[in-house]
């Protein structure tokens, strides 16, 4: 296992005899303390689900889907880092306190890199490859771009979300996921087909069978369309490659993940009113009409669910409270996108994280405006806002997509956009009479507290970076105010609206123009730990950063 040696060299030396030396013992003690501190940043939280709402056939379907989801964990682990499987296998053989802690943190992070500290290694000294394991570790961005200049016929396969890039002698080649992960995807497909055969709901059957076929064909379009068509169902699942955050080189490659949930029909029905306002949200965007996107589908299903299990990309490090899929602009053009709210996760995060954060950073007189309703609604509007604004764009006469033009800057700008418009569209809903006027202050103040929840994820991470932009820009414009004497921050209710609209215009126009250099310059200026942001973050070190889900279903199927 020569590939694992750089990571475990320190540990192996300690285990081989350095414990006998005082200095070695002190080093090990310090390492154990560090590991415990990092693990403690994730507070264990049991996520239960009410299995009594499911009949016996549905329970079997859930069990099959859970097993398929576990395979997404395995694939994503490989996508993160080429040596992950070896490192994990080695740690599992070690029966020491340090190795057990390393394994626990490894499992949280899906690798030996701390996602809360700019992917700093917590084992050994090797850095995480910027392109994760989607590309050869020694491949530079310039080499990739030069290859496409010399071989334009390779562009479609090379920038596809569903290929890995590898070396073949002196050449670069694109290998479809269906081929590269064939064994695991074949196993997952078989489980999906088993579940489909048992499932009673016709739309769920269709999604599972088409998704199983997609694992073999590498074409996810039809199954994404069928996912949008799910109806009259209790089991809400999405499984496959979606988000591109892990690809820090280009944001091209999609990571495997799974959300396995149970639909809350009553709460879902309450959100139906918002679907009719999607076009109004597009019209209301503070950019010229020529850059607005009126061609996206408007079906936009909304769902409130309770999480049973998550896997892969969405489980690594920070937990998701909502999602908006699919990301395929072809599907969005025809059908829009589905917004799914994870109610039990949202409640856990509000109670264990957001409220304690607010009590530390906000001025006392604004604490009354921090509410679960505004937290949950901002999350909803965040997800809805992913579905509006520029998608397909024209750059120098070329028809292209925002994500292709903005490359590695895309995820950070897109998450920033969604959080900005989450607030912006809440205010629109007040103007439309959907929310009462009293909801405005709740919107602004809860969002401010939420910024500190997100920036604690690390400002290198897409959501953390997006919130760092919002905080720093609004501090600069006076929408937020930090008082050095009280060491608290507050919303300036008079300035916040105009300042946010200005920020929305800037971000949306970078996307509309596909302005890659503008995006890089914008991120360089605002994705920083400004003095007050850094100071307040340090005050929050007494709190956990996020929850660590303890899934009831895992206990049932060990």
Burial of 265 (0-12, 13-18, 19+ CB in 10 A): middle
Quote the pLDDT of residue 294. 84
Mean pLDDT on 195-222: 98
- The secondary element (H helix, E strand) that includes residue 481 is strand 480-483
pTM: 0.85
The pLDDT tens digits for 99-143 are 999 999 999 999 999 999 999 999 989 999 999 999 999 999 999
pLDDT bracket for residue 263 (50, 70, 90): very high
pLDDT computed for residue 49 by the predictor: 77
pLDDT beyond 60 at 8: no
pLDDT given for residue 48 in this prediction: 79
* DSSP-assigned letter for residue 350: I
What average pLDDT does the chain have? 92
- How high is the pLDDT of residue 535? 97
Examine the pLDDT at 205 and tell me if it is beyond 70.
yes
In 120-130, which positions are buried (b, 16+ CB within 10 angstroms) versus exposed (e)?
A: ebbbbeeebbb
Q: Is the pLDDT of residue 393 over 70?
A: yes
Instruction: Quick: pLDDT tens for 160-193.
Output: 999 999 999 999 999 999 999 999 999 999 999 9
Residue 322: alpha-carbon gap to chain centroid? 9
Where is 86: in which H helix or E strand? Answer: helix 84-93
Question: What confidence score (pLDDT) does residue 5 get?
Answer: 36
Q: What is the pLDDT of residues 26-83, one digit of tens each?
A: 566 889 999 999 999 999 999 877 788 899 999 999 999 999 999 999 999 999 999 9
Please say whether the beta carbons of 376 and 341 come within 8 A.
Answer: yes
pLDDT tens per residue, range 347-390: 999 999 999 999 999 999 999 999 999 999 999 999 889 989 99
Residue 21, pLDDT above cutoff 90: no
Q: How confident is the model at residue 296 (pLDDT cuts 50, 70, 90)?
A: low
Cβ neighbors of 229 (< 8 A, separation 6 or more) are 203, 206, 207
State how far the Cα of 91 lies from the Cα of 105, in Å rounded to an integer. 11
For residue 442 the two structure tokens come to: 């709740």
Dist CA 510 CA 522 (whole Å): 9
List the helix and strand counts (H, then E) for the chain.
26, 15
What whole-number distance in Å separates Cα of residue 203 and Cα of residue 68? 19
Q: Which long-range contacts (CB under 8 A, 24 or more apart) does 347-353 make?
A: 347/372, 348/45, 348/47, 348/547, 349/319, 349/321, 349/453, 349/546, 349/547, 350/375, 350/376, 352/43, 352/45, 352/544, 352/547, 353/453, 353/543, 353/544, 353/545, 353/546, 353/547
pLDDT at 26: 54
C-alpha span between 273 and 302 (Å, rounded)? 10
Judge whether residue 224 has pLDDT over 90.
yes
Residue 469 has a pLDDT of 98
> Tell me, what's the pLDDT at 29?
80
- Res 147 pLDDT > 70: yes
Q: Which two tokens stand for residue 127?
A: 């850095």
Average pLDDT over residues 318-340: 92
Residue 515 has pLDDT above 50, yes or no: yes
| Residue 123 to residues 9, 19, 28, 540, Cα–Cα distance (Å) | 9, 18, 12, 25
Of 412, 413, 410, 443, nearest to 426 by C-alpha is 443
Query: Mean pLDDT across the stretch 264-287?
Result: 91
Element (H, E) at 517: helix 516-526
Residue 14 predicted with pLDDT over 60: no
Handedness of CA 228, 229, 235, 238 (dihedral sign): negative
Mean of the pLDDT values across residues 520-542? 97
Pull the structure tokens for residue 434: 């959907």
Structure tokens at 555: 């206990």
In this structure, of 160-169, 292-301, 406-415, 499-508, the range with the lowest mean pLDDT score is 292-301
Please say if the pLDDT value at position 10 is more than 90.
Answer: no
Task: Please give the pLDDT value at position 92.
Answer: 97
Under CATH, which number does the domain 43-78+131-263+299-333 receive? Answer: 3.30.540.30
pLDDT band at 237 (very low <50, low <70, confident <90, very high): very high
The number of CA neighbours under 13 Å toward the Cβ of 233 is 29
Q: Is the bond into 326 cis (omega within 30 degrees of 0)?
A: yes
Q: Where are the domains of the chain?
A: 1-39+83-128, 43-78+131-263+299-333, 267-294+362-527
Which two three-digit tokens encode residue 379?
Answer: 């999350």
* Residue 17 pLDDT level (bands cut at 50, 70, 90): very low
* pLDDT given for residue 52 in this prediction: 84
CA–CA dist 489, 456 (Å, integer): 16
* String of DSSP letters for 102-157: HHHHHHHHTSSEETTTTTEESSSSPPPPTTTTTS-TT--HHHHHHHHHH-GGGHHH
Angle ∠(103,106,112) on CA atoms, nearest 5? 120
Quick one: pLDDT at residue 16?
40
List, in order, residues 6 or more apart from 275 with CB less than 8 Å away.
298, 299, 300, 301, 302
> What are the start-end ranges of the H helices in 368-461?
372-386, 402-406, 410-431, 439-455
């Amino acid at each position: 296992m020569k590939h694992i040696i750089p990571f475990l060299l320190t540990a192996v030396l300690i285990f081989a005899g350095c414990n006998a030396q005082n200095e070695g013992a002190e080093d090990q003690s310090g390492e154990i303390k560090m590991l415990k501190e990092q693990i403690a940043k994730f507070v264990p939280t049991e996520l239960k689900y009410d299995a009594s709402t499911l009949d016996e056939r549905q329970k079997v379907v859930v069990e099959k889907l859970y097993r398929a989801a576990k395979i997404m964990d395995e694939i994503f682990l490989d996508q993160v880092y080429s040596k992950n499987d070896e490192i994990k296998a080695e740690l599992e053989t070690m029966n020491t306190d340090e190795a057990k802690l390393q394994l626990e943190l490894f499992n949280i992070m899906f690798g030996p890199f701390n996602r809360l500290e700019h992917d700093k290694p917590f084992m050994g000294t090797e850095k995480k490859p910027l392109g994760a394991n989607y590309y050869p570790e020694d491949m530079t961005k310039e080499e990739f771009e030069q290859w496409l200049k010399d071989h334009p016929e390779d562009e479609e396969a090379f920038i596809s979300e569903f290929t890995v890039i590898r070396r073949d002698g002196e050449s670069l080649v694109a290998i479809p996921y269906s081929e590269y992960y064939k064994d695991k995807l074949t196993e997952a497909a078989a489980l999906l087909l088993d579940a489909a055969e048992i499932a009673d709901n016709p739309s769920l059957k269709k999604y599972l069978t088409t998704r199983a076929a997609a694992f073999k064909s590498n074409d996810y379009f039809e199954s994404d369309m069928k996912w949008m068509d799910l109806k009259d169902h209790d089991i809400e699942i999405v499984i496959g490659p979606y988000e591109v955050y892990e690809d820090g080189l280009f944001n091209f490659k999609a990571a495997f993940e799974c959300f396995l949930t149970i639909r809350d029909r009553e709460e879902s029905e309450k959100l139906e009113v918002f679907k009719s306002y999607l076009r109004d949200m597009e019209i209301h965007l503070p950019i010229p009409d020529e850059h607005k996107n009126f061609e996206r589908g408007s079906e936009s299903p909304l769902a409130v669910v309770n999480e049973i299990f998550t896997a892969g990309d969405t489980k690594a490090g920070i937990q998701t409270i909502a999602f908006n899929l699919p990301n395929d602009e072809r599907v969005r053009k025809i059908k829009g996108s589905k917004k799914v709210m994870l109610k039990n996760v949202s409640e856990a995060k509000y109670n264990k994280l957001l409220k304690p954060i607010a009590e530390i950073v906000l001025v006392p007189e604004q604490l009354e405006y921090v509410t679960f309703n505004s937290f949950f609604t901002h999350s909803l509007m965040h997800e809805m806002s992913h579905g509006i604004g520029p998608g397909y764009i024209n750059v120098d006469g070329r028809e292209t997509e925002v994500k292709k033009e903005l490359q590695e800057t895309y995820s950070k700008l897109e998450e920033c956009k969604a959080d900005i418009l989450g607030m912006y569209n809440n205010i629109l809903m007040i103007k439309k009479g959907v929310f009462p006027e009293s909801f405005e202050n709740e919107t602004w103040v809860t969002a401010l507290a939420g910024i500190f929840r997100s920036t604690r994820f690390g400002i290198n991470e897409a959501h953390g970076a997006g919130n760092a932009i919002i905080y720093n820009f609004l501090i600069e414009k006076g929408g937020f105010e930090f008082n050095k004497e009280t060491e608290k921050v507050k919303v300036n209710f008079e300035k916040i609206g105009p300042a946010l609209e200005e920020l929305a215009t800037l971000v949306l126009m970078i996307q509309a123009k596909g302005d890659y250099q503008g995006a890089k310059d914008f991120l360089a200026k605002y994705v920083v730990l400004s003095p007050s942001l850094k100071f307040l973050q340090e005050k929050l070190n007494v709190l956990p950063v996020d929850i660590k889900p303890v899934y009831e279903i895992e206990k049932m199927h060990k």
